[in-house]
Amino acid sequence: MSDKNKKVSAFAAYRGSTTSKNDVQKGTKNSDKNGAAKNNNRNLASKNGGKQKGPPKKNGSYSDGDNGSSSSGEDEEDDSTDSSETPANTRESLKRRNDDAEGSKPIGAKRTSSTPVGQSTSAARSIQQPKAPSCPLQRRSCPLPSKKNTVPVKVEVASPNRALLSPQSIKKEPGDSMLCRVKIGLIKSVQPGGDVGAEAGAGQAVNRLEPCHEVHKENSIEVGKRTLAQLIAPMTMATFLRDHWEKSPFRVKTTTSGGFSNLISFKMIDQMLIQNHVEYTTNIDVTSYEDGVRKTLNPDGRALPPSVWAHYQRGCSIRILNPSSYLVQLRQLCVKLQEFFHCLVGANVYLTPPESQGFAPHYDDIEAFVLQVEGKKRWRIYAPTKELPRESSGNLSQTELGDPIMDIVLMPGDLLYFPRGWIHQAITEKDSHSLHITLSAYQQQSYANLMEKLMPLVVKESVEQTLKLRKGLPLDIFQNLGVANAEWNGVHRQKLIQHIQNLAQRLVPTEGQIDRALDQLAIKFQHEALPPTIAPQELKRTVFGAQATADRNGHCSLDYELAEGTAVRLLRANIVRLTVDEGVLRCYYYTDNGLEYCKYEPNFFELEPFHGTVIETLIHAYPDYTKIKDLPPMGNDEDRLEFVEALWERGILMVEKPFKKV
């Protein structure tokens, strides 16, 4: 076993808080009482498609009063299982729990170890005696590839001059700087041509853009970093992160056109509207900005091409809020970048007719990357009135702006970056329309967001340990403190204030509290992330490429079988997140997420410590593969094999070598 796999488990301290015998018995006794409620919930879920909607949170490039969100979201699979049960194959079912509104801890019914699920897909390895640690993952008797992420759009793609995802596609040339009051880069780049296909198969989207090497051994974070580096080339990543990230805008100016035409085009938009149920307000906004007034002119219902193009011909701008749900190439770009940023990378598309402006001047709460696809657009960038704001502005008037720091015209293939808080407005030239994409990243990803998760933990645990915090307030505190008493500087008032400040200074977070708060913040990514796109090399190594056959009697046979010598790894670096909430160990994952932003609740299952140790080992071994026999023990080899196979069937793991036909 490698040194990474020998790491001492971070859950060693948690081992002492495992479910007691009495708790298990209590769960068993209560299972009959809860059975009717569970069945009713399942029936209700089946009527609603097995899904529950969660509150959407907007993450678009523009955040005025009518701002829409970039798309991303999660799907939850139906909790219904095969009702058949044998003692040898009884195991704990996967339990999904619903989260409260963002910022609160997950809630839900306690996991019970008495809930039966269907038989294992590995019937040949059935054991005829009870098993010690049971697998917490729900298993399927015939795990066929999911079809819920099917992309029905097939688009014709031009030959782009900027081959975004090819490491050899960038020829670097020295950049020169603009003269302005702040450091702003104006970079000229030359990109050789490259033909990029855009195919989408059933099930998980298949990535046709990977380099010709062992894709299944790559580190997804490094892939995302390389993708960003190609977008901003010839500027280096070191220069970008040191001089511009969260600091100042810059432009990459291309000498050729068509650099992003594989991502979006007029024809792709037209086909998207025809082949999908795209709704006004939810998916598309019709906007205008005239005489200093910003308007949203959305009709009701579905957005079909005649209606959309009629608005466009009348001079309105069209904003597509979730194009990555429908356009495979754009989704692949967002999915790669989200692994590097460890946050949702959203995308909005803006189509503006000639001599028109769709939005008022404003600033956003995201890091913005503007990709000019067609036509040209004049951008004016103004210095921020507040550095790195946490909320987007409303519509600003021209009198509030002053002189622009940057006044440029983006041509096809150009890229513009500006940090959150930088005021901007854009208008098309008289002789040209404009089609551009805005990629958005790092929304609500600041230290302030971490502190909002951390300090409630600190206060809660400090109260349990500090008597002074549990003592009652002085009887006269309301007569000495408060806004009405702010002007009175009596000695007693000052003593009360000093005492409260001293108590606050004791609220110093521990290392463990910081870890748990960061895990809670990471759940946001697991909820928002787009599901992974699967490369052809990965398809034959994951459940998404599994196939089942049936004989004439209807008996199902699968084409895979894991063994102790099978080497596995996580599908992506950030595909899972382990958390501990009030003694309950959970594993969040985004494999089952949908394409629409946060449409469903987060996906997670609850674990025992020995399960968590296996997942922790896989996290630290990534991107290397680990043989199942080298993973930490779990009662016996059969239990460990069953757990790993369940993770593979959930789409969380990938095997190193494709399965031979079983």
Show me where the domains of the chain are located.
Answer: 216-445, 448-512, 529-655
Among 429, 71, 410, 417, which Cα is nearest to 259's? 410
Enter the tokens of residue 617.
């080992």
* H helical segments located in 417-540: 447-465, 467-470, 477-480, 491-505, 511-528, 536-539
Does residue 197 carry a pLDDT above 50?
Answer: no
Q: Per-residue pLDDT averaged across 427-434, rounded?
A: 93
Collect all residues with Cβ–Cβ distance below 8 Å to 194 and sequence separation of at least 6.
Answer: 159, 160, 161, 162, 163, 166, 169
pLDDT at residue number 548: 87
What dotted CATH number matches 448-512?
Answer: 1.10.10.1500
pLDDT at residue number 228: 97
3-state DSSP helix/strand/coil % of the chain, to nearest 5: 30, 20, 50
Does residue 486 carry a pLDDT above 50?
Answer: yes
pLDDT at residue number 91: 31
Does residue 637 carry a pLDDT above 80?
Answer: yes
pLDDT at residue number 661: 60
Q: How confident is the model at residue 45 (pLDDT cuts 50, 70, 90)?
A: very low
Residue owning tokens 């205008």: 288
Does residue 596 carry a pLDDT above 80?
Answer: yes
Q: Per-residue pLDDT averaged across 225-231, rounded?
A: 96
Q: Taking all residues of the chain, what is their mean pLDDT, rounded to a whole number?
A: 76
Q: Which of 69-78, 409-418, 613-622 shows the lowest per-residue confidence on average (mean pLDDT)?
A: 69-78
pLDDT at residue number 630: 97
What is d(CA 368, CA 62) in angstroms, rounded to the nearest whole number? 10
Collect all residues with Cβ–Cβ distance below 8 Å to 653 and sequence separation of at least 6.
Answer: 542, 568, 569, 570, 571, 618, 644, 647
Enter the tokens of residue 311.
């608005």
Does residue 235 carry a pLDDT above 80?
Answer: yes
With b meaning 16 or more CB within 10 Å and e meaning fewer, what string describes 274-292? eebebebbbbbbbbbbeee
CA distances from 494 to 121, 347, 475 (A): 70, 52, 16
Phi and psi at residue 107, to the nearest 5°: -125, 170
The DSSP element (H or E) to which 40 belongs, if any, is helix 21-47
- Name the residue type at position 312: Y
Burial zone of 329 (CB within 10 Å; 0-12 exposed, 13-18 middle, 19+ buried): buried
Specify the higher pLDDT residue, 136 or 196.
136
- Please give the biggest Cα pair distance in the chain: 91
Q: Per-residue pLDDT averaged across 117-132, rounded?
A: 35
In this structure, the strands spanning 377-382 and 406-410 are antiparallel
pLDDT at residue number 581: 83
Q: Per-residue pLDDT averaged across 523-550, rounded?
A: 94
pTM here is 0.71
Does residue 147 carry a pLDDT above 80?
Answer: no
Q: How confident is the model at residue 40 (pLDDT cuts 50, 70, 90)?
A: very low
Q: How confident is the model at residue 8 (pLDDT cuts 50, 70, 90)?
A: very low
Instruction: Quickly name the fold that domain 216-445 has.
Output: Jelly Rolls (2.60.120)
pLDDT at residue number 659: 87
Q: Please, how many CA atoms are within 13 Å of residue 204, restricted to the half-sphere of its CB?
A: 26
Please say whether the structural domain 529-655 has been given the CATH code 2.60.40.1930. Answer: no
Enter the tokens of residue 553.
């009697």
Q: Per-residue pLDDT averaged across 563-587, rounded?
A: 95
Does residue 22 carry a pLDDT above 50?
Answer: no
Specify the higher pLDDT residue, 535 or 49.
535
- Describe the crossing of helices 305-313 and 266-275 by its angle, rounded to 10 degrees: 140
